[in-house]
Amino acid sequence: MKILEGINVSTSYGGRIIHDSVSWSVKSGEIYGFLGGSGSGKTTLMKTMMYLKKPDLGEVKFEGKNMWQSPLKTQNEIKLQTGVMFQFGALFSSMSVLDNVGVMLKEYSALSQSQIDEISMFWIQKVGLKKESATLYPAELSGGMKKRAALARALVLSPKVLFLDEPNSGLDPVSSRQMDTLVCELRDTLGLSVVMVTHDADSIFDILDRFLIIENKKIAFEGSMGEIKNLKVNPLQELFDMRKNSGK
């Protein structure tokens, strides 16, 4: 089943066209990647699915509902079914990890503080942080721990879809692979659909079920790794060669 879909979507900034009638679809439960060169429009396209960038033309659908044309109530319901971790997913520096994770519950639920803390603690541990990390402040966390805390915050409302903007950026290779493993575990245990922008070659090969590649305002490819390697001209040939040379 398709959980997200873009149909003939065009976007621009101040008259500069970024996407020219592009279409894609994300199936429920898959890890779907947005690939493309720097500035090709990966983040912008992802933002059309988060109510952060309205397309000039076309439709973006969430479970078949036209996201941008739905009544406000439906739009708010859809927003609450998505979690987002941005590349520089800033945590609030003056708040502990526990309070950072609980922010959305405080905003959108009528739960008591102790209930909020209990749920936040569940997610803190679910993303692999120790209980003791809950009282720490962002300045006291490593890069990997910050990402995990930001992930817990994105998950706290139990979303159906998790959007990740370059989840491995700034992480060392070991932490990057740990992040990949975590994303797969979350998908498997929670039945999440994950949509991620990534440049990380290992993530691209190891965890994406399907992906699209943006090139010159269009979608140059949408499909799986198995499908792309059978193409006469492989848009990811350089990546395939790099991987081969590194013995993977």
Ligand X SMILES: Nc1ncnc2c1ncn2[C@@H]1O[C@H](COP(=O)(O)OP(=O)(O)OP(=O)(O)O)[C@@H](O)[C@H]1O
What is the closest distance, in whole angstroms, from the C-beta atom of residue 12 to ligand X in the complex? 9
Distance CA 87, CA 153 (A): 14
Nearer to ligand X, 150 or 212 (CB): 212
3-state SS, one letter per residue, for 90-101: CCCCCCCHHHHH
What is the closest distance, in whole angstroms, from the C-beta atom of residue 53 to ligand X in the complex? 8
| CB 84, CB 154: distance < 8 Å | yes
What is the closest distance, in whole angstroms, from the C-beta atom of residue 98 to ligand X in the complex? 31
Nearer to ligand X, 35 or 155 (CB): 35
What is the closest distance, in whole angstroms, from the C-beta atom of residue 21 to ligand X in the complex? 16
> Which residues here bind ligand X, judged by CB under 6 A?
13, 18, 36, 38-44, 197
Q: Which two tokens stand for residue 41?
A: 């429009």
What is the closest distance, in whole angstroms, from the C-beta atom of residue 232 to ligand X in the complex? 26
Sequential DSSP letters for 127-177: TT--GGGGG--GGGS-HHHHHHHHHHHHHTT--SEEEEESTTTT--HHHHH
Nearer to ligand X, 44 or 96 (CB): 44
3-state SS, one letter per residue, for 191-234: CCEEEEECCCHHHHHHCCCEEEEEECCEEEEEECHHHHCCCCCC
Nearer to ligand X, 99 or 166 (CB): 166
What burial letters (b/e) apply to 111-138, b meaning 16+ CB within 10 Å?
eeeeebbebbbebbebbbbeeebbebeb
Distance CA 156, CA 163 (A): 14
Nearer to ligand X, 81 or 169 (CB): 169
What is the closest distance, in whole angstroms, from the C-beta atom of residue 19 to ligand X in the complex? 9
What is the closest distance, in whole angstroms, from the C-beta atom of residue 220 to ligand X in the complex? 13
Nearer to ligand X, 123 or 211 (CB): 211
Which residues on adjacent β-strands are paired with residue 219?
214
Nearer to ligand X, 44 or 168 (CB): 44
